[in-house]
Structure 1
Amino acid sequence: MIDKQTAMNLVLNDFNELISSRIVHLSDCNITPLDNEKFESSILDVRNRLSVKLNNNGKCSALLVNQLATHQCGLGELFIIKENKDDNNEISVIEFYQSSEILNLIENLETSLEENLFTSRNSPFEGKGISKTHHGAYNTLGASLVINVKNYWFKKNGQLHNDKEDEFDEIYKKYISGTVNSIQHAMHQKAIHSKKLTGEWLIYKRHNNINYYFCLAKHNEGDQEIYDNKILKCFQEFPELL
């Protein structure tokens, strides 16, 4: 039998190790020639699905169509992220998402008036009416899911969130005679079923009662990089939004 603090520390270490093992770096991948016929077929399939999901109202950027087709083909998408937002260290990671789930999310947004605007001061998104919704917590095949489960329970300093202490106590008491893995599994299931995981971003803008879907992005890419490398391309495609 282990004490509660030791159990918490061991669980946190296991989460960190699992995240490290699931992060797919560019150097870990074999580069293979793109099957253009398969990719073009996937783009056509995504566009056909969008014609139904958007119900002849919303619009989707060419950038997002390509992203969804990439994930539908299981190719993985390269993201350049910052290890720490306060420094300039960057790493290349590959993420794998389930495009069908993101298409269903788009369909849900078409029937919802809810908007989650970027409101952070000194952000390139500020004042431009750009919104985000989260998708990665349930769709990723890589590290993001574990990262979000970890963030559900723990602060950046490795301590439990204050409002999660009672939940952890309940799990600890239930599995005190079991293993750390059983405690970790219960914490994972609790986080998943809470439906409060944040995940990564689907970025869009609502204009004249029409949703314009821009792109997929990881929150740790950096707002300025997302704006410069993705959003500006979408504004060029949809000049009516400027």
Structure 2
Amino acid sequence: MFKHLPLKGLYKAHFFGARFIHGNINAEFGFEYGGNKKLDKVINQAFEQSKSAYINDEIIMFLAHELTVKTIENRTQKGNLSGEWIVYQIYEGQKYYLALGCHKESDQDIYGRVQAAYRLDFPFLVSTGT
């Protein structure tokens, strides 16, 4: 549930799709900032397992798996997958889906779409005090 105005009282459910894979991998390894300790650890593991002083197929395969499949699996298990939101309201035991939102936009922008949904599709929800 959102805890701050203007979305306070509304609920959100996260959804994930293939277009969010890049962002999750970037968040895990800090590629935007030149990498982080997790990235260093994976690279070191790759070379330690291979016992090679140069990059070979074994290292490439290990890195490809660790930086993609393993990352998404780990973030899923930890509940850290990042995607976007479906914003909804519960009224009389029913969920009413009002808008989609993403992390990069302001709550006010999302709330503008919620207000439009109230006006166009769910005028009875406006009086519920969200």
TM-score relative to the length of structure 2: 0.67
Mapped to 1, the partners of 2:13 and 2:40 lie a distance apart of 28
Runs of 4+ in 1 over 6 A off after TM superposition: none
The residue type equivalent to 2:28 in the other structure is: Y
Partner residue in 2 for 1:199: 83
Higher RCO (CA < 8 A, seq sep 6+): 2
- State the 1:193 CA deviation: 0.9
Deviations 1:96-128 (A, max 9, x none): xxxxxxxxxxxxxxxxxxxxx1114xx4212xx
* Correspondence list, 1:159-238, <5 A: 160=36, 165=38, 169=41, 171-176=42-47, 177=50, 178-179=59-60, 182-194=62-74, 195=76, 196-228=80-112, 230-236=113-119, 237-238=121-122
- Say which SS state the counterpart of residue 220 (structure 1) adopts: coil
Which of 126, 146, 150 is residue 22 of structure 2 equivalent to?
A: 146
Partner residue in 1 for 2:6: 124
Mapped to 1, the partners of 2:28 and 2:67 lie a distance apart of 9
- State the 1:209 CA deviation: 1.4
- Give aligned pairs, total: 111
TM-score relative to the length of structure 1: 0.39
Mapped to 1, the partners of 2:31 and 2:92 lie a distance apart of 40
Contact 2:11 2:89 in 1 (8 A): yes
RMSD of aligned Cα (Å): 2.8
Task: Give the 3 Å change call, closer, same or farther, for CA 222–156 of structure 1 in structure 2.
Answer: farther
Identity %: 25
Query: What are the ranges of 5 or more consecutive residues in structure 1 without an aligned counterpart?
Result: 1-116
Mapped to 2, the partners of 1:155 and 1:209 lie a distance apart of 44
- State the 1:174 CA deviation: 3.6
Query: What are the ranges of 5 or more consecutive residues in structure 2 without an aligned counterpart?
Result: 51-58
Higher-Rg member (1/2): 2
* Correspondence list, 1:45-84, <5 A: none
The residue type equivalent to 1:233 in the other structure is: A
- State the 1:187 CA deviation: 2.3
